[in-house]
Each structure stands twice: as structure tokens, then as C-alpha cells.
Structure 1
């Protein structure tokens, strides 16, 4: 957990993975389930502690936090069973010590990555928060994400750790294989990985973007008047009126109402576009027929000319799956979640001037396929809109910012991450910070942001990379399991 913000000390990820793997060696399935789940709790309980603040001072506010951490811990435990079986079965079949060292590390790393992929996809769309690769944005290995994606980066990190564990076990046997390069192997993997440069993308222009953080009352339980959120954003936007911006970027929930159904808000927003000479990218809950969307709009003097709706509404936050079931379990909590957002289906891109902008609304930044889709649809720069007000005072905003940083590296695109209450930041294509607005302050950033073209291998090869890392480790485990059973039967015969 320490490897993620805050404090964000990335080398601790290697320590945690090593401890987890060592604890599973020699375990039977039941023991692996318990130990793996314990490791999951030790990680997720502090890592997602910000979930407790979503319901404010409610005496049951701890329920979503512990429920989320508990479910993720259970998945960790189930995946740990597979890892413990791999340790047993590979050792039975691969007899040559050095070959066994490499094969074991590869299968273990694959199973760990497979577990992350499953946890990030299911149930209810998954929860891809806390992936090993996402926590390496500040490490010298981060640029690998532009070649093999976040999943591939997870594999490399776990492979190096698993290789070190196997090397230590091999040396502990006192056999001839106790050579210096046995321990040097994992170090060599990391050195080679660190030397791989980021895949190059090409600058084809720039656009001036003004990111505005209003610091208004945007939390779900905040008390506010009808126009309080809008006024906070407008006040902070006064600093960009003469900025010559090509785009004004407002955060998720930065209007507080749907301006398409409020004449006063519509007039004010059109006046802002007229005064700045630029469209405003804003976001609001928007009704379309019987459906409600978390919708971003490109607002000009003529109104909303382009829209994109959030693809992955947050379960138990923006909608309640199987509401009738969960209402019977915790009716008071489920009753507080009155909104039911419908998933969007439109392209996560908009056009401003000559540039195509890729979008991700809040937690959508976690989903590889959506970000990759925007690049495939021609995005030259990425703008991520978020509302962190429900989690004020926690590390949630910094964790999400870390994910935005990794997206910049993975796609080779500059990122503008704009929040209602912070932290808002302009991030260069190499993941470095260009400028930042601190949390709990109002302000604006005006920057000339690079527009780039070129598709990284991580993006164009994403389906293949994920398919191999999802199916390959499971297939390898099945093969080793079958061979191990046959080997045991041959000994018994």
C-alpha cells in the first residue's frame, strides 16, 4: 500500500510482492486462501480507506469501505490458491534448477497479472484500482507501459520479484547452481527493463488549455444552493478570460445542474465562451428520455455541440446493481444512493479547433479499453475530468492522479487532469508534472499543451497483450496440473 500515494514510495511494491509470494510457497489451497486473503486485507483496507468518507458522518459509513476491501481481498485469496498450486506443480515437472527458476517465475507473474485483469473486469465492471503497474508511474520502469501496457508492466515487476525469490531458494539448497548470476538474473531483468526508452510519439502542434478548479461544494452530501457550484467555477474562470485559450476545461460535476434545461445557466456559459473565444468542456448529470447520464459537453455560444457520457458508472456510487437485493441487506445506505446513471456508448473524444481530445470521466481513467479507444479515434491530447469532493482529506485524489500520469506514459499523450477540489494538473507525455493546483484551493492553469500523433504498442497491441496475460497463465497452470497428476500416478504405480 505504501507504494501508492500517499506516500507513494514505489520500491515498496517489490517488498510486498516478495512477502506475498514467499507466504504462499508450500501452502495447501485452504491455507493459500487464508494467507492470500489476509494479504489482500492488509493492502486494500488502508488503500481504499477513502471509501468511508463517501457517506459522510453516517454511522454505517464504514460499510462500503470494508465491503469493498473485503471483496477485493477475497479475490486476492482465490488467486493465491492458483499461485500456490503453480509453486507445487512446476517444481514437480521442471527438474533442471535453472529452468525451473525461470519457468516458475513466469507462471507466477502471469497468474498474478491474470488475477488483476479479472479483478479489474468483474463483477459489475470490476475495480481496477491498486494494480501493481499503476503504482509504478514514478519508477524507472514506467516507460515500459508504452510498450506492453499497465498489465504488461505488472507482469515484469512480479516476474523480477518471483525470479529473485526462486534464486534465493536455489541458493539456499547449497548446490552447484549457487553462482553469482543466479541472483544477478532478477537484477538484470530490472536493469534491461529500466533501459528501455518510452515509445516515441510525435508532436504535431499545440493547443492552449485552461484547466479551472473551482473548489465548490460538489460532494454528494454537501449543502448547496442551485447555482453555488456553477458560481464557484465561474469565479475561478475569471483568471482565464484573456488567456487566449483554445479550450476551457471544467471538472466532472463542475456545473451542479444540467445547463441544457436551465436557461440562466445556459446563458452564463454561452457568455463565458463568447468572452474567452473558446468552448468550455463541462460536465453534469443529464437526462435523456428515461435515462440519466454522467455527461460531458463541449459548450459554445450555441450551447452543447458535442457530448460524451461516462462509460463505467461506479457501482454503489452512481448506480446500484440488483438494487432490490441490496436494499434488503442495508436499506438505509442503499436509500441514500438515489441516482441511477446509465452507461454511455458514444466515442470518448471531442473536437476543439483542429485537435481531437480524448476524454475519461473520473473512474473511467482506470479502464484501459476506454483510454485506448480515444487514441484509436484520433485523440492527440487527453483531458480527464473528475470530482474528488466526496473524498476530501484522503489520498484518493493523489492515487487517481497517479493513474492519469501512467496514462500519459502509456499513450504518449499530454494529459490535463482537472478536478473540482484538487488535485488538478497538467502532465507531459513522459509523465512529468508541468503545473499543478493543490487540493482544496480554487485556481486555474493555462498552458500550451502538446498535441501528438502516433500509436504506442501498448495501445495497438492491447487486445493481444491482455489476451495472452489472461489465458496464457491459466493454460500453463492447467498443463502443469495435468502433468503433475500423471507424474504422481506414475510414482504410485
Structure 2
């Protein structure tokens, strides 16, 4: 430090020096924060690239590791800020399809809410980082946050769970053993372990560096090896029978992304495609129509009702119709209805997870918006509660409608109740020009692997397909075309280990995360108290300045 041009008394000198140290330290902290924010943005974008349409799944642990490195050694609120930035970079790009299909206002609102959960994980970092084996504790917090945002607020949004990126990778077969929640947790552990290993090359790495590096990288390699084992010896459920199923993709007249442009034309397309199948002489065990194959109540609308009866009579087997059924003046039900050629409409499944501000308005009694796309939601869609499979042509069928497939409880509970086959009825017309249809189809394939069941998807104009229990796409229809897929599928009543585990993995990781936060909070508070005591001791023991000769008292 250069000499001052004028003398100062010792107390003033100490204040000047302290001010310079404070300024230099604050400038350094700002620089570190900016660097961490840039790293968080990069990590969020890398995680986005792990999913469709880029689908480089190997980037999942890299993106997660970037999150850990970006929040490393930051104070409580700054770690939360960096975590939030990571969430913004990831979620705004991951569901960019909503901006193009539903609207920028809904995209910004939903992405902002979901990004907040990554900010909450960031707030947890300074706590759980103080625990031994912190990658495990932080992975539990990440997994618990994923579970929370998947069901809350309102119906939640499961998109972006780490497990949803693993289709077509060697670790995908492990889903039959550990399920989506277990897969997400282990992928997070791998990512955070990589971060722990990388940190050993960074300043203030701590000791012993070599042992930490070996444990971190060794742990990551061991987990990946365990995840890959099922690819060599996959869990295969025994098939107890087979059935022939037809999935109808009727296509949309007019604009391909507007189901309401000519909803009667949509129904007519599915009727004619089914009659065409009957004319070909093919007799499947049952026929699957998509969600919104009737966009009005098929019990009240005479033209639609007549069309369904015409198709069912022609094919001579049950048709699972996707219809919107009135439930009073203020509510509607999104249902899969088993329509028998003899008995008529019978068993029904009601969509369990309607989309907030897409299919219903939360708190409508207090706030009833009448602008933009929200104006079209004149009635609220009620949630279904059915956990029993549908009985279709003597087959126990687990049904899901559109976004239902992304929620763990829908198909799992029906399979546990005896479902032998999975079906998904979906209307992705609003998203047909976006990557949403690819992301949802990937999730659908993973559900087949997790449950060890064949799965049949019927979409209004894409993606319709038949999926084997190992996730292989046996048949699929080109989007925006009229097509009928007829395939023989296997039936099974055996439960995979993942299905047997049920909700317990989610409960386990939620409990671990809460325990980690408590233990980390205690360690965090103790460290702060110790630091405060050390500073107080330093202040008390500071020696008094010795007076200069010219300041000595005169005797």
C-alpha cells in the first residue's frame, strides 16, 4: 500500500484500511456472483438440451453439476438467487413450446413459478453442503422439490423431471426397478458427485483433496454402473395373454392446431376412419379414439351421438371414445368412455389432472378473467378420482388422458389394481407445431418401461403409436395425417418392482431432504456462532496502540 500524503492517528488509519479491504472484498464478491450467474445460465441451457428436441440425455448430470458449482460457497440469499437464475434458464427454454402454442403470458407465468422451485433448492445449498456426503443430501432436496412442483400449486407441472430425459439410453431399463422418482434421485447424485470431484481442482478445495476426488468420481461411476446393469438383464413381466388393438388418428379439418375450428368434423373423421377399418374386414378386440374426438357432450348432442353409434355398430367391438361431458352448467368432465356395440356407453375414466388456466380457472369465485385465451374457459374442468382400470372387451385397461401420463399416480394406481394394458388418449393439436408432442411421447414411452406394460396412444393428429414394454415404438402414425394402427399387444398382470414401491420413494426422499435441512441448519448456525465468537475474541484481545514519544504524558 502506498504511503498516505498526510499522517493519520491510529484509529483513523485502521478505518481507512478496513474500508479499502471492504471495497476490495465487495468488488470480488460481485465478480464471483456474476461468474456464478453465467455458470447457472449455462447449466440450465445444458439441462434443456438433455430433453427433446435435442435429446442429448448425457447432459443431465452435466447440467446438475453446473448447478452445484454455481451455488458453491455462496451465502444463503445469493445461493437462492443463482438457483433461481438456473431455473429461469432451464424452464423458460424447456417449455418454450407453450409460448408458441398457448401464449407468451401463460408461458412466462408458468415458467416463472417453476423456476422458483430451483431457487428454493439454491437456498438449501448452504445448509446441506455442510453435511458429509452432501451430494446425496442435495439430490434428495432436488428430488423432493421436483415432486412438490409436480403437484403444486394447483395441479402442478411435472415437465422437466430428470428421469424424463433418459429414453433411448442404457439407463432407461432401470426404471422398471426404481421408477421415475428413484431415477431422478440417482441422476442428481451422479451430477452432484461430479461437481464434488471437479471442486477438488478449484481454490479452497479443502483436504484431503485426493480422497475427496476419488470418492466423488468413484461414487458417480458406481451409480452409473448400477443403472446400466438392467440394460444387460432387463426386468421382463410375464405376458398372460394378448389382444389386438386399433388406435385411430382421425386428423383435424382446417387449421391443424385448432380442435374447435370444426369439432364436428373431427368427430366425423374418427367415425369414418373406424368405419373404413370395419370395411377392411379387420376386427380388433377394441378401438381407441383420442381425447377430444368429441368436443361436445356425446350424450346430449344428437349428431355426435349418432356418429359414435354408427362407428361402433360398424366395427362391432367396443370403442373407447374421448369426450367432454357436461357436469352441470359450470363444470365439464374430460372422459374416456367405453362404448359397447350392444350395451352402449358404460365404464368411464375421468382425467385426474386438468391443467390450471388451460382447462379450469383456480379461485374463479374470486377472480374470473375474461381476456385473451382465458376467455375461452367458460367452465371449469373437474378432476377425476378413479384408480380402478377400465373394463374393455374383457381386458383391464389403465387409461390416462393427455398430461395425466406425466403424473406418477395415474397409471401406477390402476396397474396396482390389476390393469393388463396401458392406453393414453391425447389431443396435442394445440402443440402440433411444437416440440411438446415429442416430449410427451418420450414420457409415454418411459411409462411403458416403468410399468412393464404394452401401451397404446391415440392422438387427434399426432403422435399416435404402439409401444412395447421395453419402450420400443412398434408402430406410429405421421403427425397431421389420418391413420389407423392395428397391432397385437401383450397383456400382463405382473407388477414391476417400481410399481410395487409405489409412493414410498417420494416419501423417502422428502424425509431425507427435511432431515438434511434440519441437520444442515444446525451446522450452519453453529458455524456462524463460532465465527461470531472468534471475531469478538479478536476485537477484545487487540493490543492497545503504544503512544508515540511526543504523545507521552508530561510528568
State whether TM-score is above 0.5.
yes
Deviating more after overlay: 443-452 vs 10-19: 10-19
Q: Report how far residue 432 of structure 1 moved.
A: 1.1
* Matched residue, 2:480: 440
C-alpha distance in 2 between matches for 1:369 and 1:226? 31
Q: Report how far residue 419 of structure 1 moved.
A: 0.8
* Matched residue, 1:117: 147
Q: Report how far residue 214 of structure 1 moved.
A: 0.9
Does residue 198 of structure 2 align to residue 161 of structure 1?
A: no
Q: Report how far residue 400 of structure 1 moved.
A: 0.6
SS in 2 for 1:26: coil
* Matched residue, 2:408: 368
Does residue 488 of structure 2 align to residue 421 of structure 1?
A: no
* Matched residue, 2:105: 63
Match for 1:30 among 77, 83, 88? 77
* Matched residue, 2:116: 74
Does residue 223 of structure 2 align to residue 189 of structure 1?
A: yes
Segments of structure 1 that go 5 or more residues without pairing to the other structure are 56-60, 91-99
1:57-106: CA deviations, max 9, x gaps? xxxx310011111111112112211124322x22xxxxxxxxx4xx1111
Larger relative contact order (Cα-Cα within 8 Å, sequence gap ≥ 6): 1
Q: How many residues align?
A: 475
Q: Report how far residue 225 of structure 1 moved.
A: 4.1
C-alpha distance in 2 between matches for 1:266 and 1:3? 44
SS in 1 for 2:240: strand
* Matched residue, 2:128: 86
1:243-298: CA deviations, max 9, x gaps? 22001001000123222123333333223223222110111110134542011101
**Distance change in 2, residues 1:226/1:434 (3 Å):** closer
Q: Report how far residue 418 of structure 1 moved.
A: 1.3
1:183-242: CA deviations, max 9, x gaps? 333122201221134433110011100001111159785553462111111233344222
C-alpha distance in 1 between matches for 2:188 and 2:264? 49
CA contact (8 A) 2:275 2:311 kept: no
Match for 1:254 among 288, 293, 306? 293
Q: Report how far residue 127 of structure 1 moved.
A: 0.8
* Matched residue, 1:93: none
C-alpha distance in 1 between matches for 2:376 and 2:365? 14
C-alpha distance in 1 between matches for 2:206 and 2:404? 50
SS in 2 for 1:273: helix
Q: Report how far residue 174 of structure 1 moved.
A: 8.7
Match for 1:203 among 239, 247, 257? 239
1:93-129: CA deviations, max 9, x gaps? xxxxxxx4xx111111111101101111211021111
C-alpha distance in 2 between matches for 1:325 and 1:258? 28
1:327-349: CA deviations, max 9, x gaps? 46x74443232231111123352
C-alpha distance in 2 between matches for 1:167 and 1:480? 21
TM-score, with normalisation over the residues of structure 2?
0.81
Does residue 156 of structure 2 align to residue 126 of structure 1?
A: yes
C-alpha distance in 1 between matches for 2:458 and 2:156? 24
CA contact (8 A) 2:178 2:497 kept: yes
* Matched residue, 2:64: 17
C-alpha distance in 1 between matches for 2:258 and 2:226? 49
Alpha-carbon RMSD across the aligned residues, in angstroms, is: 2.2
C-alpha distance in 1 between matches for 2:326 and 2:487? 33
Structure 1 or 2, whichever has the larger Rg, is 2
Q: Report how far residue 14 of structure 1 moved.
A: 1.9
CA contact (8 A) 2:135 2:189 kept: yes
* Superposition map of 1:101-116 within 5 A: 103-116=133-146
* Superposition map of 1:89-488 within 5 A: 89-90=130-131, 100=132, 103-170=133-200, 173=205, 178=210, 181-182=214-215, 183-196=217-230, 197-217=233-253, 221-222=258-259, 224-225=261-262, 227-241=264-278, 242-290=281-329, 291-301=331-341, 302-323=343-364, 325-327=366-368, 331-347=371-387, 349-488=389-528
C-alpha distance in 2 between matches for 1:322 and 1:234? 38
C-alpha distance in 2 between matches for 1:17 and 1:476? 19
